[in-house]
Amino acid sequence: MPPRRAVVLLRVVLVLLFLVATLGQGVLVHEGVAELGAGRIPDLTRPGWAILLVALLGLVCVQVVIVATGKLLTRVARDEIFSPGALPWVDAIVWSIVAGWVLLLCAAAPVYVVAELDDAPGLAAMHLLLLLVGAAVGLLMVVMRALLRQATMLRVDLDAVI
Protein backbone atom coordinates (compact mmCIF):
# COMPACT_ATOMS: atom_id res chain seq x y z
CA MET A 1 0.00 0.00 0.00
CA PRO A 2 1.44 3.41 -0.92
CA PRO A 3 2.22 5.66 2.07
CA ARG A 4 -0.15 8.38 0.84
CA ARG A 5 -3.07 5.92 0.85
CA ALA A 6 -2.13 4.73 4.34
CA VAL A 7 -2.11 8.34 5.57
CA VAL A 8 -5.59 8.92 4.13
CA LEU A 9 -6.93 5.71 5.67
CA LEU A 10 -5.38 6.56 9.02
CA ARG A 11 -7.02 9.99 8.91
CA VAL A 12 -10.41 8.34 8.33
CA VAL A 13 -9.84 5.98 11.26
CA LEU A 14 -8.76 8.88 13.49
CA VAL A 15 -11.87 10.89 12.61
CA LEU A 16 -14.05 7.87 13.43
CA LEU A 17 -12.19 7.36 16.74
CA PHE A 18 -12.62 11.02 17.60
CA LEU A 19 -16.36 10.79 16.90
CA VAL A 20 -16.66 7.64 19.05
CA ALA A 21 -14.76 9.33 21.90
CA THR A 22 -17.03 12.38 21.64
CA LEU A 23 -20.11 10.14 21.63
CA GLY A 24 -18.72 8.33 24.69
CA GLN A 25 -18.29 11.65 26.47
CA GLY A 26 -21.86 12.55 25.63
CA VAL A 27 -23.12 9.26 27.06
CA LEU A 28 -21.11 9.74 30.24
CA VAL A 29 -22.36 13.29 30.72
CA HIS A 30 -25.92 12.14 30.00
CA GLU A 31 -25.64 9.44 32.70
CA GLY A 32 -24.37 11.97 35.22
CA VAL A 33 -27.07 14.51 34.35
CA ALA A 34 -29.75 11.78 34.43
CA GLU A 35 -28.78 10.89 37.98
CA LEU A 36 -28.81 14.54 38.98
CA GLY A 37 -32.15 15.10 37.25
CA ALA A 38 -33.79 12.08 38.88
CA GLY A 39 -34.48 14.19 41.93
CA ARG A 40 -32.00 12.30 44.05
CA ILE A 41 -29.18 14.00 45.81
CA PRO A 42 -26.12 12.41 44.25
CA ASP A 43 -23.64 10.79 46.57
CA LEU A 44 -20.42 12.07 45.05
CA THR A 45 -18.44 9.81 47.37
CA ARG A 46 -19.72 6.74 45.52
CA PRO A 47 -17.02 5.06 43.45
CA GLY A 48 -19.22 5.22 40.36
CA TRP A 49 -18.87 9.01 40.21
CA ALA A 50 -15.10 8.78 40.42
CA ILE A 51 -15.02 6.22 37.64
CA LEU A 52 -17.38 8.39 35.55
CA LEU A 53 -15.10 11.42 35.99
CA VAL A 54 -11.95 9.42 35.20
CA ALA A 55 -13.60 7.97 32.08
CA LEU A 56 -14.65 11.44 30.93
CA LEU A 57 -11.16 12.89 31.44
CA GLY A 58 -9.59 9.77 29.92
CA LEU A 59 -11.58 10.33 26.74
CA VAL A 60 -10.23 13.89 26.63
CA CYS A 61 -6.72 12.42 26.76
CA VAL A 62 -7.61 10.11 23.87
CA GLN A 63 -8.92 13.07 21.88
CA VAL A 64 -5.69 15.00 22.44
CA VAL A 65 -3.71 12.01 21.13
CA ILE A 66 -5.98 11.81 18.07
CA VAL A 67 -5.64 15.51 17.24
CA ALA A 68 -1.85 15.48 17.74
CA THR A 69 -1.56 12.37 15.56
CA GLY A 70 -3.61 14.12 12.89
CA LYS A 71 -1.25 17.09 12.99
CA LEU A 72 1.73 14.75 12.65
CA LEU A 73 0.07 13.08 9.67
CA THR A 74 -0.24 16.49 8.03
CA ARG A 75 3.50 16.95 8.52
CA VAL A 76 4.12 13.49 7.02
CA ALA A 77 2.07 14.40 3.94
CA ARG A 78 4.14 17.60 3.51
CA ASP A 79 7.42 15.76 4.16
CA GLU A 80 7.99 17.95 7.25
CA ILE A 81 7.93 15.22 9.88
CA PHE A 82 11.68 15.41 10.51
CA SER A 83 11.64 19.03 11.57
CA PRO A 84 11.67 20.62 15.02
CA GLY A 85 8.02 21.63 14.56
CA ALA A 86 6.92 18.00 14.92
CA LEU A 87 8.33 17.59 18.42
CA PRO A 88 5.63 19.62 20.26
CA TRP A 89 2.96 17.35 18.79
CA VAL A 90 4.83 14.26 19.94
CA ASP A 91 5.20 15.91 23.36
CA ALA A 92 1.43 16.44 23.44
CA ILE A 93 0.93 12.74 22.78
CA VAL A 94 3.42 11.72 25.47
CA TRP A 95 1.95 14.05 28.11
CA SER A 96 -1.60 13.01 27.24
CA ILE A 97 -0.65 9.36 27.68
CA VAL A 98 1.01 10.20 31.00
CA ALA A 99 -2.11 12.09 32.13
CA GLY A 100 -4.33 9.17 31.11
CA TRP A 101 -2.10 6.72 32.96
CA VAL A 102 -2.19 8.88 36.12
CA LEU A 103 -5.99 9.02 35.81
CA LEU A 104 -6.09 5.23 35.60
CA LEU A 105 -3.84 4.99 38.62
CA CYS A 106 -6.07 7.39 40.58
CA ALA A 107 -9.09 5.29 39.64
CA ALA A 108 -7.58 2.15 41.14
CA ALA A 109 -9.33 2.43 44.51
CA PRO A 110 -12.83 3.14 43.10
CA VAL A 111 -12.46 0.43 40.47
CA TYR A 112 -11.44 -2.17 43.02
CA VAL A 113 -14.26 -1.11 45.37
CA VAL A 114 -16.81 -1.49 42.56
CA ALA A 115 -15.24 -4.81 41.54
CA GLU A 116 -15.55 -6.07 45.11
CA LEU A 117 -19.10 -4.78 45.64
CA ASP A 118 -20.38 -6.14 42.33
CA ASP A 119 -18.32 -9.34 42.58
CA ALA A 120 -16.70 -8.50 39.23
CA PRO A 121 -13.08 -9.65 39.27
CA GLY A 122 -12.88 -9.06 35.53
CA LEU A 123 -13.20 -5.32 36.13
CA ALA A 124 -10.11 -5.31 38.36
CA ALA A 125 -8.21 -7.46 35.87
CA MET A 126 -9.19 -5.16 33.00
CA HIS A 127 -8.03 -2.15 35.02
CA LEU A 128 -4.67 -3.78 35.67
CA LEU A 129 -4.35 -4.65 31.98
CA LEU A 130 -5.12 -1.04 31.02
CA LEU A 131 -2.46 0.19 33.43
CA LEU A 132 0.13 -2.14 31.91
CA VAL A 133 -0.82 -1.29 28.32
CA GLY A 134 -0.81 2.43 29.16
CA ALA A 135 2.67 2.15 30.67
CA ALA A 136 3.96 0.24 27.64
CA VAL A 137 2.45 2.71 25.15
CA GLY A 138 3.77 5.68 27.14
CA LEU A 139 7.29 4.27 27.29
CA LEU A 140 7.14 3.38 23.59
CA MET A 141 6.18 6.97 22.76
CA VAL A 142 9.13 8.27 24.82
CA VAL A 143 11.45 6.04 22.77
CA MET A 144 9.78 7.11 19.52
CA ARG A 145 10.19 10.76 20.53
CA ALA A 146 13.90 10.21 21.10
CA LEU A 147 14.19 8.57 17.68
CA LEU A 148 12.30 11.45 16.03
CA ARG A 149 14.57 13.98 17.76
CA GLN A 150 17.66 12.10 16.57
CA ALA A 151 16.35 11.80 13.00
CA THR A 152 15.46 15.50 13.03
CA MET A 153 18.97 16.45 14.10
CA LEU A 154 20.45 14.23 11.39
CA ARG A 155 18.17 15.77 8.75
CA VAL A 156 19.07 19.29 9.83
CA ASP A 157 22.77 18.39 9.67
CA LEU A 158 22.34 16.79 6.25
CA ASP A 159 20.44 19.81 4.92
CA ALA A 160 23.25 22.04 6.18
CA VAL A 161 25.84 19.95 4.34
CA ILE A 162 23.90 19.94 1.08
Domains of the chain, residue spans = 3-161
Which position has the higher pLDDT, 156 or 99?
99
C-alpha separations of 73 from 1, 39, 77, 97 in Å: 16, 47, 6, 18
- The 10s digit of each residue's pLDDT in 25-68 is 998 888 777 766 666 655 555 666 777 888 899 999 999 999 99
How confident is the model over 109-122, as a mean pLDDT? 80
- 155: Cβ contacts below 8 Å, ≥ 6 apart: 82, 83
pLDDT at 115: 77
- The 10s digit of each residue's pLDDT in 68-113 is 999 999 998 888 889 889 999 999 999 999 999 999 998 888 888 8
The model's pTM is: 0.83
∠ CA 155-161-162, nearest 5°, is 90
